């Protein structure tokens, strides 16, 4: 019988009353005092759980190798060799630890030097900033006279504007407000006489829509169309891509008119400025760019606007085509003069901090709708820059907002779906549960509503009490499962869709595609 711990014949054998195993008394007593459990079964044990076994005296025979002097010398040599090997391993570990300690001390010294330099630069910057603040009252006159240089660069750079940039803004003047008000009156009068055009595609036509063409407009190494706009008068489509470019595409000919390069990060929003030759782009690089075409048809950047301190998510153009708004994750939206590129007002809500992710002007131009990363929709009075209404109820970031042409309804898209709001009673009257809705868009007549999510849904618009009936579901043929933007063509004759691949897809009636042969998905 051998000990369950040492494997040798015990000198003082004991047995466990719980496990029935045999142990050497001194070994099991020490193990129980240290751990309080059986070393084999793991059961709780105490000294009282072991019972001594009476046996005859056991005499262990001496090992053969210790019975002679040569055997003892061999044993000593083996122990010495083991000791030397262990000592060598410890020396190696000590050497490695010393090297690591030396490297860590060097890094610490370098970090202390960098911190000291940064502190010195910070103190110098604070001193310069304090001097600039004392000179602020004289700056606006200079900024007004020299706001724009001949090459389109901003004369007043970010570093020269002082710590509170809003103090530098000229504000929306009385002349601008009068212009906005006159535009509102004219559009409201026209809207009363509005009739749905007879050339508008019928519901039966929309039900037959299928993919007509696919155009690879953006780079393959950074696929994804993030934003889109359509110039109805010329049937030109603009797309903003993750590859940092915006592309102007002539749908009838199927040709790329121009590729706008200059942004350093993805283009988050792109807008045509009415029937002019101007295009707006916003980007994650914190800038907004105003592009204009030359006589040869190529587009060049006229202004690079750097008023935001974080990613710019949206731009929206006022009905006068003379002003526009940009919305950013820096918790502000800016009102710009189109011709000069000058920021007239930079607005923030002092009552709560929100990051703006979407923006759209009301058709009449005196109301601005904004979506936020905090799931809130805010309605602003453009003349006073006051927040006049706030809608809650969404879950997740607001990805898109769109006003109906009649001015009564607002559609908002978010991660939890799409909600419709009655602007007359300021309440939500319908909800579409489409998870991860990325875009929502009314057509130009206000007759149809398009939603881009995992697929594309088209609805017939109705009143608050009437049902908004689904017309057509278009599949996302990109294979990514994420349609990012949807737009209706002139008279809803086609639907343009952007997805997380590099292709622009056109859906319409079979046989009604007048574009040239287009490249298919690569």
51 and 182 inside one domain? no
51 and 179 inside one domain? no
- Tell me, yes or no, whether 127 lies in a domain: no
Q: Which pLDDT belongs to residue 294?
A: 78
pTM of the full structure = 0.67
296 and 419 inside one domain? yes
For residue 18 the two structure tokens come to 């719980």
CB contact burial 1-30 (16+ within 10 A = b; e otherwise): eebbbeeeebeebbbbeebebbbbbebbee
- Tell me, yes or no, whether 428 lies in a domain: yes
Q: Which pLDDT belongs to residue 65?
A: 64
Question: Span 455-470, mean pLDDT?
Answer: 92
Q: Which residues pair with 390 in a beta bridge?
A: 378
36 and 185 inside one domain? no
56 and 184 inside one domain? no
pLDDT 10s digits, 87-123: 988 999 999 999 999 999 999 999 999 999 999 999 8
Q: Is the pLDDT of residue 459 over 90?
A: yes
Q: Which pLDDT belongs to residue 298?
A: 83
Domain of 55, CATH number, reads 3.30.40.10
Q: Which pLDDT belongs to residue 164?
A: 44
Q: Is the pLDDT of residue 146 over 80?
A: no
56 and 178 inside one domain? no
Domain of 185, CATH number, reads 2.130.10.10
122: enclosing H helix or E strand? helix 69-134
- Tell me, yes or no, whether 113 lies in a domain: no
pLDDT 10s digits, 152-194: 444 444 434 444 444 467 788 899 999 999 998 888 888 777 7
Could you give the number of structural domains in the chain? 2
Per the structure, the complete domain to which residue 494 belongs is given by 174-508
Q: Is the pLDDT of residue 343 over 50?
A: yes
- Tell me, yes or no, whether 144 lies in a domain: no
- Tell me, yes or no, whether 5 lies in a domain: no
- Tell me, yes or no, whether 125 lies in a domain: no
Beta strands at 409-414 and 22-24: parallel, antiparallel or unpaired: unpaired
Per-residue pLDDT band for 197 (boundaries 50, 70, 90) equals confident
The share of the chain scoring above pLDDT 90, in percent, equals: 58
Strand order in the sheet with 13-16: 22-24, 13-16, 50-52
DSSP 429-486: EEEE--TT--EEEE-TTSSEEEEESSSEEEEE---SSS---EEEEE--TTSSS-EEEE
């Amino acid at each position: 019988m051998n000990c369950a711990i040492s494997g040798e014949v015990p000198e003082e054998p004991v047995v466990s009353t719980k496990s029935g195993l045999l142990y050497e008394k001194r070994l099991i007593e020490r193990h129980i005092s240290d751990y309080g459990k059986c070393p084999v079964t793991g059961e709780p044990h105490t000294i009282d759980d072991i019972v001594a076994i009476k046996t005859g005296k056991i005499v262990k025979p001496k090992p053969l190798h210790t019975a002679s002097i040569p055997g003892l010398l061999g044993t000593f040599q083996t122990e010495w060799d083991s000791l030397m090997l262990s000592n060598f391993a410890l020396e190696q570990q000590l050497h490695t630890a010393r090297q690591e300690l030396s490297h860590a001390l060097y890094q610490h010294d370098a970090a202390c030097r960098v911190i000291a330099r940064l502190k010195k630069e910070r103190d110098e910057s604070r001193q310069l900033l304090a001097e600039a603040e004392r000179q602020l009252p004289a700056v606006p006159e200079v900024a007004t006279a020299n706001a724009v240089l001949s090459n389109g660069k901003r004369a007043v750079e970010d570093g020269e504007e002082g710590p509170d940039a809003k103090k530098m803004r000229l504000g929306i003047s009385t002349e601008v407000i009068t212009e906005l008000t006159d535009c509102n009156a004219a559009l409201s009068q026209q809207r009363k006489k509005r009739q749905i055009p007879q050339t508008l595609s019928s519901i039966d036509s929309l039900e037959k829509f299928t993919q007509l063409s696919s155009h690879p407009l953006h780079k393959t190494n950074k696929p994804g169309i993030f934003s889109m706009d359509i110039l109805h008068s010329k049937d030109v489509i603009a797309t903003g891509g993750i590859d940092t470019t915006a592309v102007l595409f002539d749908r009838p000919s199927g040709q790329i008119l121009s590729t706008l390069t200059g942004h350093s990060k993805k283009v988050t929003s792109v807008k045509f400025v009415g029937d002019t030759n101007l295009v707006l782009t916003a980007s994650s690089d914190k800038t907004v760019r105003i592009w204009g075409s030359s006589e040869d048809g190529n587009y060049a950047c006229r202004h690079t606007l750097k008023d935001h301190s974080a990613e710019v998510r949206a731009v929206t153009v006022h009905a006068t085509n003379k002003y526009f708004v940009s919305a950013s994750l820096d918790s502000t939206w800016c009102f710009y003069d189109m011709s000069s590129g000058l920021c007239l007002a930079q607005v923030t809500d002092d009552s709560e901090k929100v990051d703006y992710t979407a923006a759209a002007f009301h058709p009449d131009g005196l109301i601005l709708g904004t979506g936020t990363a905090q799931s809130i929709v805010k309605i602003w009075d453009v003349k006073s820059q006051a927040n006049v209404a706030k809608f809650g109820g969404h879950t997740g970031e607001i990805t898109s907002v769109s006003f109906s042409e009649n001015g009564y309804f607002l559609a908002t898209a978010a991660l939890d779906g799409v909600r419709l709001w009655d602007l007359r009673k300021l309440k939500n009257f319908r909800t579409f549960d489409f998870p991860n809705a990325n875009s929502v868009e009314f057509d130009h007549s206000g007759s149809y509503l398009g939603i881009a999510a995992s697929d594309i849904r088209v609805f017939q618009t109705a009143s608050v009490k009437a049902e908004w009936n689904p017309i057509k579901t278009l599949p996302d043929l990109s294979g990514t499962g994420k349609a990012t933007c949807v737009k209706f063509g002139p008279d809803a004759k086609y639907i343009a869709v952007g997805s997380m691949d590099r292709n622009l897809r056109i859906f319409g009636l079979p046989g009604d595609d007048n574009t040239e042969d287009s490249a298919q998905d690569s």
